[in-house]
Amino acid sequence: MRHVLAVVDDTGGASGVIAVAGAMAEVLRADVREVRIAVGSGGRDVETAVLHELEQKGTILGVLADGTLPGDVSWRVVRRSTKPVILLPSRMRTPEASRKVISRVLLPLDGSPEAAAAVTETAGLFTRTGVDLVVLHVFDQVTTPRCWDQAAHARQAWEEEFLARHCAHPGVRMELRSGVVEEQVVNVAVEEYVDLITLGWSRRIGRGRARTVRRIVADADVPVMLIPMTRRAAPPPPP
């Protein structure tokens, strides 16, 4: 049996986690399985327990709230998990105000083959199940084009080439921005009113690592799916 794991704590704040797990389970045609964690227990014990549940054969992905587990357990879990994990940011829209379905997803891509490979199966899954997929690329000071001859045509050609290389799925829409990556991801998520942000990431969170990923989770008001850059990380397609 396939299931989405909803990791909830014993303080009663489980509604958001369960709602998001249910929405993803609908996309994946899976069930939701809840596991309750005592936040007063030791951090390492919690980490081990959550990872054990994530590695069960039927688990497709996990959903947990960032900052509710003791210490930095949430990030230690996503760093070690070989399966996708959805983190709910602390400032997420309340379940009553947010849609309990996944109908639009934002997929930031930096143009690296590793990030594209990590998310390609998940991107295909979303498009096959009717989810509106918005790909975002953010130019920085080095990569921003100084000018484009026949700008509209050049931009269209650039977008088509980028999608062909990094996200070749039908129906995908692309947005381009320039500036600080984490700021633009959060801004576009609001502008497009997405239900989920999906990121491929290296699972390195030491000093100076994953700053962009952690800022997105901290500042976003929608859940963030983190897909580790391993070949077997993407959730399997619905049966």
pLDDT tens for residues 83-126?
999 998 877 765 544 447 899 999 999 888 888 888 988 999 99
Give the range of the structural domain holding residue 12, as residue numbers without chain letter. Answer: 1-95
pLDDT at 51: 92
Distant-in-sequence, close-in-space partners of 205: CB < 8 Å, separation ≥ 6: 75, 79, 213, 214
Domain boundary, last residue among 95, 125, 158 = 95
pLDDT at 65: 85
* CATH number for the domain harbouring residue 138: 3.40.50.620
Same domain for 144 and 64: no
Same domain for 216 and 119: yes
Lowest mean pLDDT among 58-72, 137-151, 189-203, 223-237: 137-151
Assigned domain for 113 exists: yes
Same domain for 72 and 114: no
Same domain for 75 and 18: yes
**10 Å Cβ neighbour count for 203?**
19
Return the H-helix or E-strand segment holding 32.
Answer: strand 31-37
Report the SS3 class of residue 167.
Answer: coil
pLDDT at 237: 74
* CATH number for the domain harbouring residue 70: 3.40.50
Domain boundary, last residue among 95, 130, 161 = 95
Strands, DSSP E only, in 142-210?
A: 173-178, 196-201
Same domain for 81 and 107: no
CA distance 58 to 94: 29
Distant-in-sequence, close-in-space partners of 203: CB < 8 Å, separation ≥ 6: 78, 79, 80, 228, 229
How many folded domains does the chain comprise? 2
Please indicate, yes or no, whether the overall pTM of this predicted structure exceeds 0.75.
yes
pLDDT at 1: 83
Assigned domain for 120 exists: yes
